[in-house]
């Protein structure tokens, strides 16, 4: 545990270290903490081509044809995870190409990469499932809230008992003018007119 004097000295030293001041310095140090790039703040890290990622995202967008912001976010998440999966393959190739790699360190690195690969693949599958489920639920909500504009007939219900109890909801037909009208009872056949 640090003493009070050490804590105070650390605080005084921290005031002198504030990081880069210029935009160029900030840009240079932006990726200092990245070792493999899988948790990068930016999807495209130095050494990768931003235009290739943009093309990849555009291909997925054209394939999925997102209809709203939620769908666009899910498609982008699929693109990012696929991009990271491809990055992981490149890192694995570099690991095997290094002849001075310690075998124990290589085994640990390969193990971590396979775990990360499995997580990314599950994330892609899960995001695709989320996108499909969202689309189905969205389509169901839209269908609930809209009436079928192509319908020309709406069924009804007529019930007449021998005890004299009558219940009826007359079927309707859509007229040429677009107005819904009850089908007259006389046209319905065997059902007698209820007593008033």
pLDDT digits (tens, 9 = 90+) for 138-160: 888 877 666 555 667 666 665 56
Q: Are residue 160 and residue 138 in the same domain, yes or no?
A: no
CA atoms of 134 and 72, how far apart (whole Å): 12
Instruction: Record the tokens describing residue 167, joined without a space.
Output: 């219940």
CA atoms of 81 and 71, how far apart (whole Å): 15
Q: Which of 12, 99, 15, 85 is nearest to 53 (CA)?
A: 85
Q: Is residue 67 part of a domain?
A: yes
Q: Are residue 139 and residue 165 in the same domain, yes or no?
A: no
Domain count, the chain: 2
Q: Are residue 52 and residue 138 in the same domain, yes or no?
A: yes
Q: Is residue 141 part of a domain?
A: yes
Chain centroid to CA 56: how far? 16
Return the H-helix or E-strand segment holding 8. Answer: helix 4-16
DSSP 50-102: HHHHHHHHHHHHHHH---SHHHHHHHHHHHHHHHHHHHHHHHHHHHHH-TT--
Q: Is residue 163 part of a domain?
A: yes
Q: Is residue 4 part of a domain?
A: no
Q: Are residue 55 and residue 137 in the same domain, yes or no?
A: yes
Q: Are residue 169 and residue 131 in the same domain, yes or no?
A: no
Q: pLDDT, tens digit, for every residue of 76-87?
A: 999 999 999 999
CA atoms of 131 and 72, how far apart (whole Å): 9
What was the pLDDT predicted at 182?
76
Provide the residue-wise pLDDT of the chain in tens; the chain has 196 residues: 778 888 888 888 877 767 777 887 776 665 555 444 444 457 888 888 889 999 999 999 999 999 899 999 999 999 999 999 999 988 888 888 888 878 888 889 889 999 999 999 999 999 999 999 999 998 888 776 665 556 676 666 655 656 665 556 667 777 777 777 777 766 766 555 555 4
Core vs surface per residue 63-76: b (16+ CB within 10 A) or e: ebebeeeebeebbb
Q: Are residue 184 and residue 130 in the same domain, yes or no?
A: no
Q: Report if pTM > 0.75.
A: no
Q: Are residue 161 and residue 131 in the same domain, yes or no?
A: no
Q: Which of 4, 101, 86 is nearest to 37 (CA)?
A: 86
Q: Are residue 43 and residue 85 in the same domain, yes or no?
A: yes
Sign of CA dihedral 104, 106, 111, 112: positive
Q: What domain range includes position 80?
A: 35-145
Q: Is residue 22 part of a domain?
A: no
Q: Which residues pair with 166 in a beta bridge?
A: 160
Q: Are residue 55 and residue 81 in the same domain, yes or no?
A: yes
Q: Are residue 135 and residue 172 in the same domain, yes or no?
A: no
Q: Are residue 114 and residue 168 in the same domain, yes or no?
A: no
DSSP state for residue 153 in the 8-state scheme:
E
């Amino acid at each position: 545990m640090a003493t009070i004097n050490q804590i105070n000295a650390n605080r005084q030293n921290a005031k002198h270290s504030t990081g880069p001041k210029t935009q160029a310095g900030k840009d240079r140090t932006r990726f200092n903490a990245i070792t493999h790039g899988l948790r990068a703040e930016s999807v495209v890290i130095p050494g990768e081509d931003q235009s290739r990622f943009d093309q990849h995202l555009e291909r997925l967008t054209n394939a999925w044809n997102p209809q709203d912001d939620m769908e666009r976010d899910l498609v982008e998440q699929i693109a990012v995870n696929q991009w990271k999966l491809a990055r992981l393959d490149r890192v694995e190739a570099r690991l095997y190409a290094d002849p001075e790699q310690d075998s124990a360190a290589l085994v640990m690195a390969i193990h971590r990469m396979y775990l990360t690969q499995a997580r990314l693949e599950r994330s892609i599958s899960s995001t695709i499932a989320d996108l499909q489920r969202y689309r189905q639920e969205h389509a169901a909500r839209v269908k609930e809230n809209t009436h079928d504009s192509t319908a020309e007939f709406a069924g009804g219900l007529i019930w007449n008992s021998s005890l004299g109890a009558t219940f009826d909801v007359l079927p309707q037909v859509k007229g040429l003018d677009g107005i819904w009208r009850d089908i007259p009872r006389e046209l319905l056949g065997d059902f007698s007119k209820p007593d008033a």
